């Protein structure tokens, strides 16, 4: 296929990796992001071997690993703090770790710097207010009063995608699970050199992000999807840990004192069973398949989307063929991640059968090790 003029809507992980992949293949890329500060959460993210493999494909692996913390096992604890399993995880690229913990600001900098260096034109504080397709292209009206035409528009604008609302207004809507996640950064404990996952009604994990930093995540039932004011968030997070007897968690809970450092997010999910594109506008990442974080694959699926979309644009004879092939390659893999993660979530809050996390994690590693 000819080299395309592409607009990417959304400057998160999916949008940035999509820009890197498309520029690598010679397409001209503009990227817009509604947040004028281009800000991200200050806590971290866990990424498995399929993301490491993707970062090799994107050519950013050295910067990526330099900004994170690699590890090859997941250690599982019962609520008392006793270790019950240490699960080896498969490294998919020889010489590189099987998993990486990385701070979201650090990951954003790696991907953002590479996106700009590759020649993508990035505009901040801008929204695509109107998409009008005439069969030969898409005319886009922007919130700053400008207009431009594109061969392809990629909606990478997240769970509450305005792009999805414009092209597929009758598609599935986000659903609240009944659970939420709380996150907080700490100086890394010497013993936390891999993901340490504590099972129980209140799920807790400690994730290394660098030699100096780690973060804690806490998943809790939140019936009714309550809203919390910023003032008092630290106390609210501490209260969620009162039922966790593990000594290391109790000691860390005492250090949760900064309301502004707490990141609280209700857990929602979404999966589009129908089309993922309309005409020359396609959706990727959370805009089409938002998962809960129980298998740690939300960002991974968005990154894989970017690589597959770029590959299909190169391989297919027409744009429509490429976009259909993209969905075909991604549908079952993303559906599995969304549904399996949701099953763990619902089991934890009594809305479904309890899922053994260690078993589900082993199965996930097998699934995502397969080529994309």
Residues 272-293: pLDDT tens digits?
Answer: 999 999 999 999 999 999 999 9
Strands 73-77 and 195-198: parallel
pLDDT at 356: 85
Two tokens at 176? 């609240």
Ranges 43-52, 110-119, 121-130, 360-369: which has the least confidence: 360-369
> How far, in Å, CA of 89 to CA of 364, rounded?
10
pLDDT at 292: 97
Report the run of H or E that residue 24 belongs to, with start and end. helix 13-24
Mean pLDDT taken over the chain: 96
Q: Looking at the predicted structure, is the pLDDT value of residue 314 above 90?
A: yes
Higher pLDDT, residue 256 or 372: 256
Q: Give the CA-trace dihedral at 244, 248, 251, 252, to 10 degrees.
A: -90
pLDDT at 199: 84
Report the run of H or E that residue 149 belongs to, with start and end. strand 147-150
Q: 177-267, what's its fold? A: D-Amino Acid Oxidase; Chain A, domain 2 (3.30.9)
Residues of the chain with CATH 3.30.9.30: 177-267
pLDDT tens track for 187-200: 999 999 999 999 87
Please name the residues in contact with 215: beta carbons below 8 A apart, sequence gap of 6 or more. Answer: 43, 44, 101, 103, 183, 184, 185, 186, 206, 207, 209
pLDDT tens track for 11-62: 999 999 999 999 999 999 999 999 999 999 889 999 999 999 999 999 999 9
pLDDT at 201: 79
Domain spanning 5-47+102-174+269-369, CATH class? alpha beta
pLDDT tens track for 88-97: 888 999 999 9
> How far, in Å, CA of 11 to CA of 35, rounded?
9
> How far, in Å, CA of 320 to CA of 327, rounded?
11
pLDDT at 361: 85
| Of 205, 179, 223, 207, nearest in space to 344 by CA | 179
pLDDT tens track for 333-357: 999 999 999 999 999 999 999 998 7
User: pTM for the full model?
Assistant: 0.96
Q: Looking at the predicted structure, is the pLDDT value of residue 266 above 90?
A: yes
pLDDT at 2: 85
């Amino acid at each position: 296929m000819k080299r395309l003029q592409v607009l990417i809507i959304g400057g998160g992980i999916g949008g940035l990796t999509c820009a890197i992949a498309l520029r690598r293949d010679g397409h001209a890329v503009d990227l817009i992001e509604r947040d004028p500060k281009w800000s991200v959460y200050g806590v971290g993210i866990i990424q498995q071997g399929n993301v490491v493999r993707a970062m090799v494909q994107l050519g950013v692996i050295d910067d990526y690993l330099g900004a994170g913390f690699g590890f090859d096992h997941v250690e599982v604890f019962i609520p008392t703090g006793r270790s019950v399993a240490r699960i080896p995880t498969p490294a998919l690229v020889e010489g590189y770790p099987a998993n990486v913990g990385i701070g979201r600001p650090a990951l954003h900098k790696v991907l953002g710097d590479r996106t700009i260096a590759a020649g993508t034109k990035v505009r901040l504080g801008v929204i695509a207010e109107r998409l009008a397709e005439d069969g030969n292209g898409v005319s886009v009206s922007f919130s700053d009063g400008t207009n431009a035409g594109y061969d392809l528009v990629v909606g990478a604008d997240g769970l509450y995608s305005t792009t999805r609302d414009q092209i597929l207004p009758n598609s599935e809507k986000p659903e609240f699970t009944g659970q939420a996640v709380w996150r907080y950064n700490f100086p890394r404990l010497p013993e936390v050199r891999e993901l340490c996952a504590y099972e129980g009604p209140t799920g807790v994990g400690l994730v290394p992000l660098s030699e100096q930093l780690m973060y804690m995540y806490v998943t809790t039932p939140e019936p009714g999807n309550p809203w919390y004011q910023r003032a008092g968030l630290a106390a609210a997070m501490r209260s969620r840990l009162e039922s966790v007897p593990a000594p290391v968690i109790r000691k860390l809970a005492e250090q949760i004192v900064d309301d502004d450092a707490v990141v609280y997010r209700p857990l929602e999910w979404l999966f589009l069973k129908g089309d993922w594109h309309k005409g020359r506008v396609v959706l990727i990442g959370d805009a089409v398949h938002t998962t809960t974080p129980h298998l740690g694959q939300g960002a991974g699926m968005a990154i894989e989307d970017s690589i597959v979309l770029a590959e299909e644009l190169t391989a297919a004879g027409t744009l429509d063929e490429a976009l259909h092939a993209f969905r075909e390659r991604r549908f079952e893999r993303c559906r599995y991640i969304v549904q399996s993660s949701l099953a763990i979530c619902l089991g934890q809050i009594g809305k479904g059968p309890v899922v053994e996390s260690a078993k589900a994690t082993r199965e996930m590693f097998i699934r995502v090790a397969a080529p994309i």
